[in-house]
Structure 1
């Protein structure tokens, strides 16, 4: 899953980027409003969540939010700001934000809010099942036949992407954007390596793999 952070304080953006990547997100960071606006508009349909500081050099978070809402009404937006009055909160939400978190805040609270907004956006549950495999996004667990399967963050994110799009082909370019945060075609052999590792961990001997290859296109999971 992919997140945009627009924050001019490098200590904050660096901390958030590291924490979110550890949770399996691909993260883009902009340190000023103009760059943030450019990324937000160019990839509005690709981001699962946007985290916007209110006070930014160049273009404010409010203006970014307003412009995004002209082209995309669905992407969740959270304001991260030191502004703390009721009027500020109301103004930010009326501008088009979905949530508002006052600085300083606990990373665990931000993560919980991100997950809630993503569930609300997709309308999907946090629990997925295919065959004998069950994935619990909130608990960050994958279970097969009652036994936990240990996955790396990238493996977990890749499986989550495939399950969230069950029955649909996930193109290689989209996988690179969502999981590895690469916005252009390059050597995508890394995807094959991770798919093979996932198959070894998820599939039992003499069992057909749940992950199917669509040659030259990408991968798909079906019931």
Structure 2
């Protein structure tokens, strides 16, 4: 499981990040200020750091200088949204610069890009007899390549990465369609039915009553 360091002084944002990333399969360590984060970094290795710039004690830029020699990629998450701010953050060595407020699905996608750039994430996933190539966005089974629509591919990848975990319909809809479910799950249910049929998943892709779906 990949280790993520979250450095954010606003508790609600920090806790929401940790909760969302944990559900996405990451292990998170939280720090409310730069000094605490530096202490964590002395004793632990992380795969990625998410830094707010305006944190107390040691700010994000100062902490980035400490992190860079460790080879840990950094993404800035900040309310500083001018072009000069973005340029400064990227030139300082951040791999990406995301302005608040942001969609969690966007953050997860950008995290994956950075992690793959640093060879932290394999571009291939496996599930049973299926091979998933994230670069070419192809799914191959015992009988060859299986044609999936873009949303079907994203949905299958999400299920594979969270195998054994019951995912709420609303959560799936937020990640894949980047919008709220608003009580209408027909679109999601239709995509699930198509995935189940195309990949012949049968009972392995379960409907969890009043929750959503789980890939066993």
Normalising to structure 1: TM-score of the pair?
A: 0.58
Write the deviation string for residues 115-172 of structure 1: whole angstroms up to 9, x where unpaired: 000111108652245994525669xxx9874798x7684869xxxxxxxxxxxxxxxx
**Hey, what does 1:47 align to over in structure 2?**
46
Q: Which whole-Å CA distance do the structure 2 matches of 1:98 and 1:151 have between them?
A: 27
- The answer to whether 1:84 aligns with 2:81 is yes
Q: Which whole-Å CA distance do the structure 1 matches of 2:140 and 2:34 have between them?
A: 42
Write the deviation string for residues 23-60 of structure 1: whole angstroms up to 9, x where unpaired: 100011001111012223432xx312110000111110
Change (3 A) 1:83 1:51: same
Q: Tell me how many residue pairs correspond in the alignment.
A: 153
**Hey, what does 2:15 align to over in structure 1?**
14
**Hey, what does 2:27 align to over in structure 1?**
26
Q: Equivalent residue of 1:54, what SS? A: coil
**Hey, what does 1:204 align to over in structure 2?**
none
Q: Which whole-Å CA distance do the structure 2 matches of 1:152 and 1:120 have between them?
A: 19
For 1:151-170, what aligned pairs fall within 5 Å after superposition?
Answer: 153=162
Change (3 A) 1:155 1:136: farther
- The answer to whether 1:94 aligns with 2:81 is no
Q: Which whole-Å CA distance do the structure 2 matches of 1:49 and 1:55 have between them?
A: 19
Change (3 A) 1:137 1:18: farther
Write the deviation string for residues 55-97 of structure 1: whole angstroms up to 9, x where unpaired: 111110111101111x223x22000111111111111112111
Q: Identify which range, 48-57 or 121-130, moves more after superposition.
A: 121-130
**Hey, what does 2:6 align to over in structure 1?**
5
**Hey, what does 1:162 align to over in structure 2?**
none
Normalising to structure 2: TM-score of the pair?
A: 0.60
Say whether the 8 Å CA contact 2:127–2:160 is kept in structure 1. no
What RMSD in Å do the two structures reach over aligned CA positions? 3.4
**Hey, what does 1:62 align to over in structure 2?**
61
Q: Which whole-Å CA distance do the structure 2 matches of 1:129 and 1:143 have between them?
A: 10
Structure 1 unaligned spans of 5+: 157-200, 202-223
Structure number with higher relative contact order (C-alpha < 8 Å, ≥ 6 residues apart) = 1
Structure 2 unaligned spans of 5+: 147-155, 166-203, 205-216
Instruction: Report deviation, 1:111.
Output: 0.5
